[in-house]
Amino acid sequence: MAKRNEIMKRSVGIDYEKYATGPLSFDYARLMEDTGYDIETVGRIQAETAVGNTPMVQLKNLTDLARSTAPAGKGARIFVKDEAQNPSGSFKDRRASISVYEAKKKGYKGVVAATSGNYGAAVASQAAKLGLSCIIVQEAFDSHGIAQPEIAEKTRACEAYGAEVIRLSVGPELFYVFLLVLAETGYFNASLYTPYSILGIETLGAELVRDLSVVDGGLHPDVVVATHAGGGNITGTGRGLLKSGVSDTMLVGASVDLSGLHMASDTDFNRKSFTTGHTGFGIPFATWPDRADVPRNAARPLRYMDRFVTVTQGEVFYITQTLAELEGMERGPAGNTSLTAAFALAREMERDKIIVVQETEYTGAGKHPIAQLNLAKKMGVEVRRGNPMENAPGEAIVIPEHPSQIQVVDVDMEGLRSSYVKNAGRSLKPGESPGAGDIAFLSEDCRGTEDFVRRMLSEAQ
């Protein structure tokens, strides 16, 4: 662990220290620009491996269902970007494409990623296309050897693309093993949090604007909903919207509410039915993004997220089945998290408004709701129909009896901002104090005033 910084610098080819501008601040814009990739170049690279340019689908039947349970005059039209059409079945191909391209360009022989989600399959798929070796490190089991079916499904996918998969039980050894693999192989760190990963998602935001202009006569989305976990999805989509000249679209992050469950807990590991897109990642990465596996996280969600809402596991399972039955689209759970939120939000909006869900993901045996619910029952979690507000993470999954019961719960954005600034303040080393540049950086990073930042830093002391 003492060689962490040296290993990271060698494995991503970025000297993060040269971007530091103060004890808390760094030059974010320069970090992104120095990669040398503009959005047009990213699009051309992705097109070479069949990534992106996925269909925009209007969900007419789901819109009708939302309107049937909405107040008079309410019920925005719902569109979805069908990212399941990417090579490995999710938007994560966009993230992986530029990282793997960069690894190939710099002469690395292979790539490594630590992930139990779709990103592993995406990295493995892109590495296969460019002829690089690939190693994926996963947290897959609890201490009893019981595997999450969704993670087992992703293991299968990674191995199908030719990757070596190192499967670990839940615990702190993940990062140590990841560093060890990087040190021993000399492979490229295809981290979710490098600038390359975020740049790859910008094309998704740009395509939302382009696609909607084609199918709906030049209108911009009023609201875009993105499933929020580590912050990259929100960040890349927001940057893509801005680069397309769209600044008045509300960007909403949506996560499954898993409050009370600890992601590193052996007991809680299999008591959740979603491996990503939940508050166990969404809250910590919003309030302290630099907890990532690189020194400076390029995913800065508070810069771009206008509203953050949660939904329950039972509500997502309900919408997953409804999407299949009404729209003929069987898709996996992570993208359906944002769709569930969009269904509820559409009922708040006027009928002439447009709400876009910016992703779907593939589904498979382990990602199917039945596999997830069977594991939940095996772990002692109650599964029943009823009012989803009775949902209790780790104890009860309550699937709605009627679509009118689906609703979002707002997360306090001001609370997130204050936690972020306080966490930054607590990261200062003895003898360090924030300067004017640090205050300005934190203000921009959380979209709070400089007076707000000073007040929160004072409270953190």
Q: What is the DSSP letter of 331?
A: -
Q: What is the DSSP letter of 32?
A: H
pLDDT at 277: 87
pLDDT digits (tens, 9 = 90+) for 227-271: 999 999 999 999 999 999 999 999 999 999 999 887 778 888 888
pLDDT at 4: 76
For residue 400, what are the β-bridge partners? Answer: 386
pLDDT beyond 80 at 309:
yes
**In this predicted structure, which of 95-104, 364-373, 392-401, 403-412 has the lowest mean pLDDT?**
364-373
Q: Which residue has the tokens 């580590």?
A: 230
Of the pLDDT bands very low, low, confident and very high (cuts 50, 70, 90), residue 173 is confident
User: Cβ of 337: how many Cβ atoms within 10 Å?
Assistant: 32
**To which H or E segment does residue 397 belong?**
strand 396-400
Contact 298, 193 (CB under 8 A): yes
CA–CA distance, 4 with 10 (Å, rounded to integer): 10
* 66-71-73 Cα angle (round to 5): 90
pLDDT digits (tens, 9 = 90+) for 197-230: 999 999 999 999 999 887 767 778 999 999 999 9
CA–CA distance, 173 with 281 (Å, rounded to integer): 18
CA–CA distance, 446 with 421 (Å, rounded to integer): 8
CA–CA distance, 215 with 59 (Å, rounded to integer): 13
Q: Which residue has the tokens 């990417």?
A: 86
**To which H or E segment does residue 344 belong?**
helix 333-346
Q: What is the mean pLDDT of residues 24-46?
A: 97
pLDDT digits (tens, 9 = 90+) for 148-162: 888 888 899 999 999
CA 4 to chain centroid: 25
Contact 233, 227 (CB under 8 A): yes
CA–CA distance, 169 with 192 (Å, rounded to integer): 21
* CA distance readout (Å), 59 to 137, 329, 456: 37, 10, 43
Tokens of 212: 């909607």
pLDDT at 2: 63
pLDDT at 1: 62
pLDDT at 83: 97
